[in-house]
């Protein structure tokens, strides 16, 4: 059974490389313009409009820009939680209190992430969120998200399921990253919606 459960992984690795290559070719201006459009789309999303607490993330590299969205949510009184990467790749959480509350943290030579510098709220803090904004590289017609492969958000989604929490799961992507099919494994959990610069894509099976 373990072999079967991992059978999609080679396909996932190839898909990740392909999507990352496209992102790497984007100019800084294209990333900026897409991020502004995505933030405008996401602000009007019903799942965020009625949310009191949103778990989100600070974009890095060529990911769709999220900082404008974080500030827009906070400006209207939403409690925004941001992840803190732990040594075992699980995620702790802290509250976003504006750009000055972020610290650049280097993780073992792998990457530098902007993380909340204040109080750590614990990995279970995410279970209080009304909506969770997820990073990803693509999503398919079933709502299955292709992540980067680190497993951090698989742990988050499993924690939500164990807690019986049912926040709206939303992935933030570029327009060309909503596709017909991505490789999937049994533990992959569908998202409710994907927001791209040009629109919102909903997945009724989620």
Strand-pair partners of 201: 194
pLDDT of residue 165: 81
What pLDDT digit, counting tens, does each position of 75-129 carry?
Answer: 999 999 999 999 999 999 999 999 899 999 988 767 889 999 999 999 999 999 9
Domain region containing 59: 2-202
Comparing C-alpha atoms, which of 171, 81, 169 is closest to residue 122?
Answer: 81
Kindly report the backbone phi and psi dihedral angles of residue 186, in degrees, each rounded to the nearest multiple of 5, phi listed first. -55, -30
Residue 205 confidence class, pLDDT cut points 50, 70, 90? low
Token duo for residue 102: 């972020």
Average confidence score pLDDT of the chain: 90
Q: Specify the pLDDT at position 186.
A: 81
What does the pLDDT average to over 34-50? 91
Q: Helices marked H in 104-186 — which ranges?
A: 152-162
Residue 63 above 70 pLDDT?
yes
The count of structural domains within the chain is: 1
Whole-number pLDDT of residue 1: 26
Res 3: pLDDT:
34
What's the angle, vertex CA 131, arms to CA 130 and CA 132, rounded to 5? 135
pLDDT of residue 95: 97
Position 71 confidence tier, pLDDT thresholds 50, 70, 90? very high
Q: Which two tokens stand for residue 84?
A: 């803190």
User: Rounded to 5, what percent of the chain is helix, strand, coil?
Assistant: 35, 25, 40
Residue 9: pLDDT over 80 = no
Strand runs (DSSP E) across 117-185, as ranges? 131-134, 138-139, 145-146, 168-172
User: Quick check: 62 and 123 in contact, CB under 8 A?
Assistant: no
The pTM of the full predicted model, rounded to 2 decimals, is 0.91
> What's the confidence (pLDDT) of residue 90?
94
Within 86-139, strands assigned E span 91-95, 102-107, 111-116, 131-134, 138-139
**Whole-number Å distance between alpha carbons of 183 and 101:** 37
Exposure pattern of 42-81 as b/e (b: 16+ CB <10 Å)? Answer: bbebebbeebebbbbbbbeebbbbbbbbbebbbeeebbbb
CATH of the domain at 42: 3.40.50.10420
pLDDT tens-digit readout, 133-148: 999 999 999 999 999 8
């Amino acid at each position: 059974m373990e072999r079967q459960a991992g059978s999609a992984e080679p396909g996932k690795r190839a898909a990740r490389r392909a999507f990352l290559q496209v992102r790497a070719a984007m100019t800084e201006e294209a990333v900026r313009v897409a991020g502004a459009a995505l933030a405008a789309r996401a602000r009007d999303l019903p799942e965020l409009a009625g949310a009191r607490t949103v778990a989100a993330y600070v974009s890095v590299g060529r990911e769709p820009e999220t900082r404008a969205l974080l500030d827009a949510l906070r400006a209207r009184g939403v409690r925004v939680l941001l992840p803190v990467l732990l040594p075992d790749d699980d995620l702790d959480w802290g509250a976003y209190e504006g750009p000055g509350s972020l610290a650049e943290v280097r993780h073992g030579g792998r990457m530098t992430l902007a993380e909340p510098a204040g109080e750590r709220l614990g990995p279970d803090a995410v279970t209080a969120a009304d909506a969770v904004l997820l990073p990803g590289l693509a999503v398919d017609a079933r709502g299955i998200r292709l992540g980067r492969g680190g497993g951090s958000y698989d742990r988050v989604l499993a924690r939500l399921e164990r807690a019986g929490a049912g926040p709206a799961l939303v992935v933030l992507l570029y327009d060309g990253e909503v596709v017909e099919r991505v490789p999937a494994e049994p533990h992959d959990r569908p998202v409710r919606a994907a927001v791209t610069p040009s629109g919102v894509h909903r997945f009724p099976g989620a």
